[in-house]
Structure 1
Amino acid sequence: MTVSTQDRLKQHGLEVDFLPDIEEIFPIRLRDPGELARRTLALHALLGVIFHPDPREISEWMKAEDFLQELTEREKWAFALTDLPEEEMRWQQSAMQSNLLTWRAESLYVLLWASGRVPSLVDPSERMDGSLVADHLPALGQPLQPFIRDAGLRPSQEILTELHYYFFLNHFMEDIYEQTGEIIGDLDPMLTAERFHALHWITCAGQSEWDADEE
């Protein structure tokens, strides 16, 4: 794991002689596949409210599936736009499309990868493409239980390998930005932070809450 991470960091111009194993940094306890699937669906719904032409359809779908209790307080705040009058709802939705919440698309992508539904993660220099995930998620109006029931989990070592890489990549990016005000190459700090956020949530069940810093 360590050699792989060092080689990957080297591709971004980061030369590191030694890195501790991820188990020395975090108390590892992976979440179960069902919890992973429910969080994936919550993000799917959140992004639907932000981007779907009629966000009320997303809200009604989640209500019909009795799924609203799976949302965090921050996600419920986003859903609240569907209770607004039409014109105000449209304005709020448009404003939300430039909100940091839109980066949750990268977390959704990581969760689908960790569950084994998508084969690999694109390089952190690349934002995920919605076409990479659309076919792996329930369409509007479809029941959610089959998605949860069929949930899986990628081998733990594969997930921990990515956690190790994204933890250090995110750490070095933050450190360099604080010292110089510069970013590394064509990497986007928000993308790196979001993928690390998702991987940390998956692997450190006893230590992480999804929106703990925002609520």
Structure 2
Amino acid sequence: MSLFKLFGAGKPRTAAQRKSDTKNRLVKLGVPVNQHLPLVEDCTSVEIRDSKDVVRRLVILSILHDCVHGFDDLTKESTIEFFKSRELWEYVSGNEKEYLLSAEADEQAEIKISWSAESMKVFFWAVGLIENLDLPLNAANLAAAHKASLEKYKSIPDFVQNAKLRDKEEILNETDFIYRVHWAVKQSMRLGKHAPANLNPDIVYERHYAFNWLTCYAGDWDEITCDT
């Protein structure tokens, strides 16, 4: 169950109240809490990405992911052509373009793109194609979300134009949660311990990255940081 449903729709909370709600959830999960972490912006001051930008980023990550894994016989060249023919090339990040335009293998770039499935899960959730975000424990299985998008939208332009984002409060609830979870995971790693509550550190990082982009923590996709 999402925090939005847990605490009730239509009841905007201050950043301090959201922090308190997250603390209570973390305590129940047995996840350490840092009382001194700053507040996440509230709904009156935060900027959320436009739904069109979220869908474009989702589609770009999905196609890049398929390219890296060789699905549908995608190559770098055919991936570039796909993006250009769908008017998506200008939204591909600088690092992504560099990867696609290079004739050289880039293992680090391919690893990063492979992990982007976890960011895609956040974006599928943000546009309502995944009902609830589960705890960041297991690798994302996006088959049902992809199927739902194909059933609901006739084309990429239809998806871009008509997808709707979740309520800002709901997005901020999950942003606050993953921010404080990420601190707990990093702290455990600093102490040489396993992540609490069986949380997966890599999945936690990717979700934090996605939410920081979604809430405009930095401008470009390549510039996002996951400070805690």
Mark yes or no: TM-score above 0.5: yes
1:67 maps to which residue?
88
Q: How does 1:26-45 map to 2 (within 5 A)?
A: 28-45=46-63
Aligned to 1:54: 73
Runs of 5+ in structure 2 lacking a partner? 1-17
Say whether residues 1:5 and 2:17 are aligned partners.
Answer: no
Letter in 2 for 1:150: N
Give the aligned length: 200
Alignment of 1:33-182 (within 5 A): 33-51=51-69, 52-56=71-75, 57-80=78-101, 84=103, 92=105, 99-137=111-149, 143-180=155-192, 182=194
Cα distance change on mapping 1:133 and 1:59 into 2, 3 Å:
farther
Native 8 Å contact 1:50 1:97 kept in 2:
no
Root-mean-square deviation over aligned CA pairs: 2.9
Residue 20 of structure 1 and its aligned partner are, at CA, apart by: 5.6
1:48-73 Cα offsets, whole Å, 9 max, x none, are 21121411344432232132221112
- The equivalent position to 2:40 in structure 1, one of 17, 22, 29, is 22
TM-score normalized with structure 1 length = 0.79
For residue 211 of structure 1, what is the aligned residue in structure 2? 222
Q: Given that residues 33 and 180 in structure 2 are in contact (C-alpha distance below 8 angstroms), is that contact kept between their aligned partners in structure 1?
A: no
Residue pairs, 1:169-208, within 5 angstroms: 169-180=181-192, 182-204=194-216, 207-208=218-219
**Higher mean Cα deviation, 99-108 or 54-63?**
54-63
Alignment TM-score, normalising by the size of structure 2: 0.75
Point out where structure 1 has 5 or more consecutive residues left out of the alignment: none
